[in-house]
Structure 1
């Protein structure tokens, strides 16, 4: 099914040059726009004294990339262009396909902004992350499952950060309550 979804999306690639150009740009450069859109509203929306937001977003990114690297080593799936005839529109190394690093970072940023900073900005970034994921499939460098895995890893990393914060808060409260 993963290949069939890939073939459905990638099968349209190479037919319409302006659309290909748009998705080539999105697959390569939109991640940098997302990063800028994370920083700019963050500077505006973070209240004075709320310095933990950038740390939480950064921790989410680092954790997501670490999990993604571990998954990539455990499930070394070849890229579509290594095993099939595809419309590969952008160059890419023949390394592990699963999970997509672009999708992992994009969805980790989107979910982290949604949870730690601003729901509307998080929704907007989730739309951009989805476009990046679609573009990575369109350009022939990832399967849809690679994108889904990156999205899940990005969301899981943010969830782990939130869970860790809650656990740390409970431990601190428990220690305060037991102190004389």
Structure 2
């Protein structure tokens, strides 16, 4: 079923050049854009600094979890198995889980857990679009981006449970600059 849904989404690729360009741009620039927006929160109010710090920690933790998973799970990419047509350069690592989805959802869920709902919804919308773009351009299965979303959400939850706002380390970190 994962392959069938992935193929269905990717079969839209190549139909409308404008959509192809938008999806390629999302897959390549979505995460750097999200990181830049998170970084801009550093110069906002203290609650936004804490949210930016938590998002950064969740981003890093999520990617670290992915590296551990990649050592154990060796899933070929969908273009390697003939499920999709690739629109971007091939990747050198395994397919599951998606680092892009992990990073995007780590940021979105971090802001949701910090009670910043409008920002969380905006980040969530971008996270969904970035994740779908990874399937559209043929580099991931839908299950890969779903697994990445789960890893990102888990990382954000772990950071929320362990990194308390206002503790000594948090005050030090958020007082920088």
TM-score bracket, normalised by the shorter chain, equals 0.7 to 0.9
Corresponding residue for residue 127 of structure 1? 125
Corresponding residue for residue 43 of structure 1? 43
**Contact 1:38/1:113 (<8 A) preserved:** no
The alpha carbon displacement at 1:164 in A equals 2.2
Aligned Cα root-mean-square deviation (Å): 1.9
Change over 3 Å in CA distance of 1:89–1:153 after alignment to 2:
same
The alpha carbon displacement at 1:94 in A equals 3.7
Find out whether 1:142 has 2:140 as its counterpart. yes
TM-score (norm 2): 0.85
Contiguous gaps of at least 5 residues in structure 2: 168-177
Change over 3 Å in CA distance of 1:98–1:80 after alignment to 2:
same
Q: Distance in 1 between matches of 2:35 and 2:107?
A: 8
Secondary structure, counterpart of 2:111 in structure 1: helix
Corresponding residue for residue 71 of structure 1? 69
Q: State which of 154, 159, 175 in structure 2 corresponds to 1:161.
A: 159
TM-score (norm 1): 0.84
Corresponding residue for residue 26 of structure 1? 26
Q: Distance in 1 between matches of 2:55 and 2:75?
A: 28
Number of positions where the alignment pairs a residue of Structure 1 with one of Structure 2: 165
Contiguous gaps of at least 5 residues in structure 1: 170-180
The alpha carbon displacement at 1:85 in A equals 5.0
Corresponding residue for residue 13 of structure 1? 13
* Larger of the two Rg values belongs to structure: 1
- Structure 1 runs (4+) deviating above 6 angstroms are none
